[in-house]
């Protein structure tokens, strides 16, 4: 598997996408802080207060919009960047970016960048909780603290994600791992977007998805993941 340093275009796209998410989170936190702060003055509002709240709050909304736009643009060109980087590599035997071949089995690992983003989000909300506690007491801790805890849990779960594929089937699961033969999940659906996360779904004929692969948190791209599944199962 090529390393990130061997694929500069891909690495730049991933870094920009990560920065876009950071800006998005900062904007959302900013807007949330403004919303919480306005509760204290809602009974004594003047025209100037309203204008000030709108102005300050719009900064957070603007940051969130910019972060979302940057993230989408970086993601849109990621597949092409990977193709260009792979074309420049001079390797005789090579799997796709993010796909590890070991012992005749293919491993799809979670992205370290995805784990880092969740940890950053947890640290950011924990920071706001501490600042809020020093200024407002426990009220802001109750607002930001649960988010920090949830983001830490998500970072741990994402770090544990690995999908193992071979010619017989796929092993999947976050907390409890389970193996499915390709005959158990014969239907390979199209790549879908749910809650901002790209997913590849494997289902029984006419049934609900039994394996959902969250592409957005993996190193491998959706295109390479789908190609690998089709090649291994042979239909």
pLDDT, tens only, 33-80: 777 767 665 566 666 666 777 777 788 888 889 988 988 888 888 778
Beta strand 162-165 with 169-172 is antiparallel
* Domain coverage including residue 125: 112-148
Verify that 199 and 138 share a domain, yes or no.
Answer: no
The answer, yes or no, to whether residue 2 has pLDDT greater than 60, is no
> What is the share, in percent, of the chain residues with pLDDT greater than 90?
0
Give how many domains the chain has, as a whole number.
3
Residue 153 lies in a domain: no
Pair 206, 101 in one domain? yes
- Decide: 158 and 114 in contact? Cβ < 8 Å: yes
**Residue 7 shares a structural domain with residue 58:** yes
202-226 average pLDDT score: 80
Answer yes or no: is 119 within a domain. Answer: yes
| Same domain? 205 vs 142 | no
Within this chain, do residues 103 and 35 fall inside the same structural domain, yes or no? no
> What would the DSSP string read from start to end of 135-177?
HHTHHHHHHHHHHHHHHHHHHHHHHH-EEEE-SSEEEE-SSS-
Q: Tell me if 155 is assigned to some domain.
A: no
User: Are 89 and 13 in the same domain?
Assistant: yes
Q: Do 196 and 231 sit in the same domain of this protein?
A: yes
Assess whether 144 and 173 both reside in one domain.
no
**Does 205 reside within a domain?**
yes
- Residue 197, domain member (yes or no): yes
Query: Is residue 29 in a domain?
Result: yes
Q: Is residue 220 part of a domain?
A: yes
Tokens of 218: 């993996």
175 and 62: one domain? no
Lowest mean pLDDT of 35-44, 79-88, 137-146, name the range.
35-44
Q: How many CA atoms lie within 13 A of 184 on its CB side?
A: 12
Q: Are residues 90 and 124 in the same domain?
A: no
Is the confidence at residue 178, as pLDDT, over 60? yes
Within a domain: 85: yes
The residue with tokens 């930001």 is 144
- pLDDT score of 39: 65
Are residues 51 and 82 both part of a single domain? yes
Choice among 66-70, 117-121, 127-131 with the minimum mean pLDDT? 127-131
Contact 62, 12 (CB under 8 A): no
206 and 102 in a common domain: yes
């Amino acid at each position: 598997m090529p390393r990130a340093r061997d694929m500069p275009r891909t690495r730049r796209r991933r870094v920009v996408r990560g920065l876009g998410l950071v800006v998005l989170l900062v904007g959302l936190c900013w807007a949330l802080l403004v919303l919480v702060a306005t509760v204290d003055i809602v009974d004594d509002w003047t025209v100037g207060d309203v204008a000030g709240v709108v102005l300050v709050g719009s900064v957070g909304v603007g940051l969130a919009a910019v972060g979302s736009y940057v993230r989408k643009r970086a993601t849109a060109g990621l597949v092409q960047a990977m193709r260009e980087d792979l074309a420049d590599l001079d390797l005789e035997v090579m799997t796709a970016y993010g796909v590890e071949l070991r012992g005749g089995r293919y491993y799809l690992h979670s992205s370290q960048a995805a784990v880092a983003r969740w940890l950053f989000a947890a640290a950011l909300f924990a920071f706001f909780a501490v600042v809020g506690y020093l200024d407002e007491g426990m009220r802001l801790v109750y607002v930001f603290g649960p988010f920090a805890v949830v983001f830490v849990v998500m970072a741990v779960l994402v770090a544990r994600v690995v999908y193992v594929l071979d010619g017989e089937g796929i092993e999947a699961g976050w907390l409890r791992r389970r193996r499915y033969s390709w005959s158990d999940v014969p239907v390979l659906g199209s790549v879908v977007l749910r809650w901002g996360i790209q997913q590849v779904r494997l289902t029984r004929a006419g049934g609900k998805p039994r394996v959902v692969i969250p592409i957005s948190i993996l190193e491998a791209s959706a295109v390479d993941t789908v190609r690998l599944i089709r090649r291994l199962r042979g239909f």
